[in-house]
Chain A
């Protein structure tokens, strides 16, 4: 685009032929030729960029316990890349994907990141899902100066030059959701429950501070369940005893299925108990079953049922590519943004070099995101909205609340 502007200025200056400028503009808009961007100029750091192609990596778990969650992200990233290629690629170069399997094993993520960056010299990597896998891969990206687009909503407390976070960080997901439930349900007492690892613990820390200091509420219980644990009997008994206005939950993975089924079996369904969860998306509902969730709330930035032009198109194309039965969760949508944001970064920089692309992206506004408008903040996170979805029997959510644009704040003052 910068080239185009310069060209326009030149033509105007010399002959004042706006028509020529418009025609040239149209041509440039419709087709970017790789020849306009010689490889030597757009790639000065030895990345895998040729005159016609550019290599990127996709690094998620295709096997192991996380495969069920990460498959959606792989699909979304591949879909976005295919769409970008159809439009002519990036700087006239088609994107080639090298897919690696993290195998739900954090050290493997580090090994494969190294392989993608040092061996394959990929220009960007779309990947990682759990915080643990990101933490394992991060030092590799920082040392080899790679570029990672990370899709999952996560605990924050991190900001790296080499990573763009396309999901929400904890305060974006938590604060607005709690505000809503406190106002809407007049909630005073809260019961916090989560899986036992960094994301739920940090999230609950922020939630507790917000409840106690800003909402004037009270936390009547806080419990953590080992990852993969399926015994919720004692927790459910405690909840029955304490009778909280709201259960605030961040239970993940396989435990989720047991958690909701046992809640229902104990009679704590949505008619008797309000629950707001920050860990259930359409993907999880597939496993849990809509009937076990009906009436409970999730706080996410995206639901498949969102009504807007971008999303209608995205859902249709996703289903066309992966079947009518496929569902799209929050992270899948965030993963879909990765390749588009990278495209914007490279085009704004006019270069595939990581150092240049990283500087070019902040401030970029992506208006075609399925979730609606997002903007890249200088802290490498996205400004986005929070929605509250009420789950229906069919596994879809009815969006009952939408916040304004939320500023990402990975190191929140007063919440640490």
Chain B
């Protein structure tokens, strides 16, 4: 039991960092911010799921996926489909040609609910699919690529292409997916109105707690033997393979885990924001999420969360203050990060934090005292 908690929390240092993050997300921010700003933080936190998944996959596994947005999007879409069906009951859609189906289907002359929408009538099945669909897609992509030893930049490019294909598919099949508008106007989750203030608070806390859980799960993976193998594969893949390990299945596994964590973020996004659109699936959001992880530090789970929060706060603040100039400011921020601290916030912290830690302050103070006493003698 002790060993398990050690692994989940990542040692004493890790436990402190995690506790600080938890207190910040669960106590300080809800107390300091009004509901609107807290809602924004809630949205940023959903992106942090993807950033964490990239720390696992990219920072520790050396596999850079430029298509994490598609897993975020699929998780979000699965949740949105359930909510949309609930919002499209025959009574509230009675002005349509075919009542009881989502409004965008009606606009596109579809007269019956397509078969793949059927499972989303049930909540348990939906929750299963929120995790299952992205994992299945990741498994298929992983099987196709890793067993053929496709890696490095080729893997990145292919994931990017798949993300693009998926977003084109969603936009093109608007009768089935809502097209470029996405799935909008979501109202209730099993009768519970997700738009009320109390619901927003609940969702925020569920969201933040899930994030902490996902960090602990990732810690567990990274501190296990599997985590060591992951690092070894990143640094010398051939050696691991020659030692008799099946590199491909390890990579497929971590890719599936990353997809699942991203999907949780997507589903929470849909619940909190109240809609899902293909603009979260394509290349741009996927790359943006890589930037979040990079700013935070791609090796650090906690750093990635702070990176996501920081970049998004910057985005919101800059765009509110300088509606015409803010993109340049964001660009400047990214260039500065890459140029001056390539290891991200976490790298910065690791470099300077020891200098300010209690023990190091104490040693320096001792040295100073010795020096002063030496001089006085």
Known contacts A198-B104, A198-B107; decide if A101 and B326 are in contact (CB<8 Å).
yes
A131 within 8 A of B: yes
Stretch at the interface among A102-110, A299-307, A344-352: A102-110
Interface size on A, residues (CB 8 A): 35
Minimum CB–CB distance from B335 to chain A (whole Å) comes to 18
Minimum CB–CB distance from B300 to chain A (whole Å) comes to 27
Instruction: Verify B184–A197 contact, CB threshold 8 A.
Output: no
B337 within 8 A of A: no
A9 within 8 A of B: no
A135 to B103: give the CA distance in the assembly, Å. 12
Choose one: A138, A157, A411; the contact of B184 (CB below 8 Å): A138
B155 within 8 A of A: no
Choose one: B34, B106, B275; the contact of A110 (CB below 8 Å): B275
A99 to B172: give the CA distance in the assembly, Å. 33
Chain B stretch 172-195: residues in CB contact (< 8 A) with chain A: 172, 174, 179-182, 184-186, 195
Binary interface encoding of chain A residues 194-213 relative to chain B, with 1 for a CB under 8 A from any of its CBs, else 0 = 00111001100100000000
Contacts of B366 in A (CB 8 A): none
Minimum CB–CB distance from A224 to chain B (whole Å) comes to 8
A101 to B329: give the CA distance in the assembly, Å. 14
A316 within 8 A of B: no
Q: How many A-B contacts at CB < 8 Å in the complex?
A: 95
Instruction: Verify B324–A62 contact, CB threshold 8 A.
Output: yes
Contacts of B36 in A (CB 8 A): 114-115, 118-119
Q: Closest residue to B175 on the A side, CB-wise?
A: A201
B273 within 8 A of A: yes
A111 within 8 A of B: yes
Minimum CB–CB distance from A129 to chain B (whole Å) comes to 13
Instruction: Verify A201–B277 contact, CB threshold 8 A.
Output: no
Minimum CB–CB distance from B92 to chain A (whole Å) comes to 13
Chain A stretch 113-129: residues in CB contact (< 8 A) with chain B: 114-115, 118-119
B14 within 8 A of A: no
Choose one: A63, A100, A105, A157; the contact of B279 (CB below 8 Å): A105
B323 within 8 A of A: yes
A416 within 8 A of B: yes
Instruction: Verify A139–B182 contact, CB threshold 8 A.
Output: no
A136 within 8 A of B: yes
Known contacts A107-B279, A115-B36, A118-B35; decide if A157 and B273 are in contact (CB<8 Å).
no
B43 within 8 A of A: yes
Instruction: Verify A106–B279 contact, CB threshold 8 A.
Output: yes
Minimum CB–CB distance from B270 to chain A (whole Å) comes to 11
Choose one: A105, A106, A196; the contact of B181 (CB below 8 Å): A106
Instruction: Verify B168–A198 contact, CB threshold 8 A.
Output: no
Minimum CB–CB distance from B259 to chain A (whole Å) comes to 21
A198 to B39: give the CA distance in the assembly, Å. 29
B342 within 8 A of A: no
Contacts of A119 in B (CB 8 A): 34, 36-37
Contacts of B37 in A (CB 8 A): 119
Contacts of A62 in B (CB 8 A): 323-324
Contacts of A106 in B (CB 8 A): 181-182, 277, 279
Contacts of B357 in A (CB 8 A): none
A156 to B362: give the CA distance in the assembly, Å. 71
A26 within 8 A of B: no
Binary interface encoding of chain B residues 18-29 relative to chain A, with 1 for a CB under 8 A from any of its CBs, else 0 = 000000000000
A183 within 8 A of B: no
Contacts of A227 in B (CB 8 A): 171, 180
A411 to B103: give the CA distance in the assembly, Å. 13
B97 within 8 A of A: yes
Minimum CB–CB distance from B225 to chain A (whole Å) comes to 41
B108 within 8 A of A: yes
Q: Closest residue to B97 on the A side, CB-wise?
A: A416
A135 to B97: give the CA distance in the assembly, Å. 20
Instruction: Verify A101–B324 contact, CB threshold 8 A.
Output: yes
Known contacts A100-B319, A115-B36, A197-B179; decide if A138 and B107 are in contact (CB<8 Å).
no
A277 to B224: give the CA distance in the assembly, Å. 63
Minimum CB–CB distance from A381 to chain B (whole Å) comes to 16
Minimum CB–CB distance from A272 to chain B (whole Å) comes to 32
A226 within 8 A of B: yes
Contacts of B184 in A (CB 8 A): 135-136, 138-139
A136 to B195: give the CA distance in the assembly, Å. 14
Minimum CB–CB distance from B171 to chain A (whole Å) comes to 7
Minimum CB–CB distance from B237 to chain A (whole Å) comes to 38
Instruction: Verify B108–A99 contact, CB threshold 8 A.
Output: no
Instruction: Verify B181–A197 contact, CB threshold 8 A.
Output: yes
Q: Closest residue to B275 on the A side, CB-wise?
A: A136
Instruction: Verify A196–B275 contact, CB threshold 8 A.
Output: no
Minimum CB–CB distance from B36 to chain A (whole Å) comes to 4
A106 to B181: give the CA distance in the assembly, Å. 8
Known contacts A197-B174, A198-B107; decide if A101 and B319 are in contact (CB<8 Å).
yes
Known contacts A63-B327, A106-B279, A136-B277; decide if A197 and B319 are in contact (CB<8 Å).
no
Minimum CB–CB distance from A194 to chain B (whole Å) comes to 12
Chain A stretch 339-372: residues in CB contact (< 8 A) with chain B: none
B151 within 8 A of A: no
B95 within 8 A of A: yes
B320 within 8 A of A: yes
A313 within 8 A of B: no
A271 within 8 A of B: no
Residue in A100, A110, A136 with the greatest tally of chain B CB atoms within 10 Å: A136
Choose one: B43, B185, B323, B324; the contact of A138 (CB below 8 Å): B185
Contacts of B327 in A (CB 8 A): 63, 103
Minimum CB–CB distance from B98 to chain A (whole Å) comes to 10
A111 to B40: give the CA distance in the assembly, Å. 8
B274 within 8 A of A: yes
Give the 4 A-B CB pairs with smallest separation, nearest first. A101-B323, A118-B36, A197-B180, A132-B181
> Would you mind naming 27 contact pairs between A and B with Cβ atoms under 8 Å apart?
A63-B326, A100-B323, A101-B323, A105-B279, A106-B182, A106-B279, A107-B273, A108-B319, A111-B40, A118-B36, A119-B34, A135-B185, A136-B181, A136-B184, A136-B275, A136-B277, A138-B184, A139-B184, A139-B186, A139-B275, A196-B172, A197-B180, A201-B108, A202-B107, A205-B109, A416-B97, A416-B106
